[in-house]
Amino acid sequence: MPSKTPEIAIIGGTGLRRLKGLEITRRMVQKTPYGEPSGPFIVGHYGSREVVFLARHGLRHTIPPHRINYRANIWALKEIGVSKVISVAAVGGISERMAPCTVAIPDQIVDYTWGRGHTFFEEGLSEVVHVDFTEPYSEPLRRALLEAGRRAGIEPVDGGTYATTQGPRLETAAEIDRLERDGCELVGMTGMPEAALARELELEYACCAVVVNRAAGRSEGPITMTMIERNLALGMERVRRLLGEVLGG
């Protein structure tokens, strides 16, 4: 294993299987006690910084949200020496301010998932471990993303609660109504347990969320893949500009 690993990792979700502009220098495969990560870690230069990139759903986008090995991904990043993680995620917009193509940097999260490996602290413990999760995202890293977005002319939305649902299906209109009553403004399928696992291993973690559709019942007609793909392309171009700024491009 190379002696030096970049401190920053980017976990790319739907629409970010590959990081355009990344000058790849090497690939790393890391075994973990929790099985295989989603794929190899791609190391390279992006802007003026060296970064690690991981495709959350696999390089061919074949791993559904509920089958991602979140523990292996986060454990491996910690093991190779990463200290900061930027998560990129495609989400649905619930509130009016979360319109399609909006880039948001959420500050809270609610977990509606089940059956996922959600903690490292469950076996072989000398004592029970409780981790504070009052503020689920790293505020300094959130601020860095917001400032980078502004420099890039994007003006990302500051804050918002991200509801993490089980997937892989999209939600019903009634489920979205419930999430809105709970105070959620964004809905996605990969925010948890990823954020909590990063906190358990003391990694700085923040999310860059790209709104690709109005959530169920918030727009006229059904949600179509054509609609999502169009908004995803526009939104991800904004994310690439933001990442270029935050990495000193």
135-181: per-residue pLDDT in tens? 999 999 999 999 999 999 999 999 999 999 999 999 999 999 999 99
User: Length of the chain in residues, anyone?
Assistant: 249
Phi-psi region of 118 (alpha: psi -120 to 50; beta: other; left: phi over 0): alpha
- pLDDT for res 84: 97
Domains of the chain: 8-246 (3.40.50.1580)
The confidence band for 3, taking pLDDT boundaries of 50, 70 and 90, is very low
Per the prediction, the chain carries an average pLDDT of 91
Confidence band for 1, pLDDT divided at 50, 70 and 90: very low
Q: What is the pLDDT of residues 67-122, one digit of tens each?
A: 999 999 999 999 999 999 999 999 999 999 999 999 999 999 999 999 999 999 88
Residue whose tokens read 């019942």: 217
Residue 18: predicted pLDDT: 64
Residue 9 in this model has a pLDDT that exceeds 60: yes
Q: At 2, which amino acid appears?
A: P
Band of the pLDDT at 2, cuts 50, 70, 90? Answer: very low
Q: In degrees rounded to 5, what are phi and psi of residue 183?
A: 95, 10
Query: What is the pLDDT, as a whole number, of residue 202?
Result: 96
pLDDT of residue 104: 97
Report yes or no: 154 and 236 within 8 Å, Cβ to Cβ. Answer: no
Structure token pair of residue 184: 């959620």
Report the distance separating Cα 192 and Cα 111, nearest Å.
6
pTM of the model: 0.92
Q: Are 146 and 158 spatial neighbours (Cβ–Cβ below 8 Å)? A: yes
b/e per residue 48-77 (b: at least 16 CB within 10 A)? ebbbbbbbbbeeeeebebeebbbbbbbbbb
Distance CA 203, CA 58 (A): 22
pLDDT of 228 over the 90 cut: no
pLDDT 10s digits, 48-72: 788 999 999 998 889 999 999 999 9
| Residue 45 pLDDT > 90 | no
Taking residues 31-46, report their average pLDDT: 92
pLDDT at 129: 86
Whole-number Cα distances in Å, 215 to 44, 92, 172, 221: 35, 5, 9, 11
Q: Are 8 and 49 in contact (CB under 8 A)?
A: yes
Contact 91, 162 (CB under 8 A): yes
Report d(CA 118, CA 120) in Å as an integer. Answer: 7
The number of angstroms, rounded, from the C-alpha of 121 to the middle of its chain's C-alpha atoms is 22
Give the whole-angstrom CA distance, residue 147 versus residue 150: 5
Given a contact cutoff of 8 angstroms between Cβ atoms, the answer to whether 114 and 166 are in contact is: yes
What is residue 229's predicted lDDT score, i.e. its pLDDT? 87
